Amino acid sequence: MHVVIDIPEEIYSHTQEYEVGGFNQENDTKLFMAIKNGTPLPKGHGKLIDADAIIAEATERMKYPANYKYMECVIAHMKLAPTVVEADKESEVQK
């Protein structure tokens, strides 16, 4: 099973510095809650990609008439694709 979790940066850094058992109850609780509130990925899911980046690139390529119809189709399909994990608000591409 694959699960996407959101954890505070300091907790992640802490996991990189210590061996198992180096945590305290507060950190253990934060990790447990992150897993509990995580987003399970559907079984057999495909490759996770940055759809916003593809839409931005396709939009840029639409400036060339020969590409317009194809890129318009790419953008439409990308926008219709189901969302598995929401965009990270800090790095979300402007739409």
Contact 59, 75 (CB under 8 A): yes
pLDDT at 94: 47
pLDDT at 42 exceeding the cut of 80: yes
Q: What is the pTM of this model?
A: 0.57
Distances (CA, A) of 50 to 30, 56, 64, 84: 28, 10, 23, 11
pLDDT at 47: 85
Strand partners, 3: 40
What are the pLDDT digits (tens) for 17-39?
A: 776 666 677 878 888 899 999 98
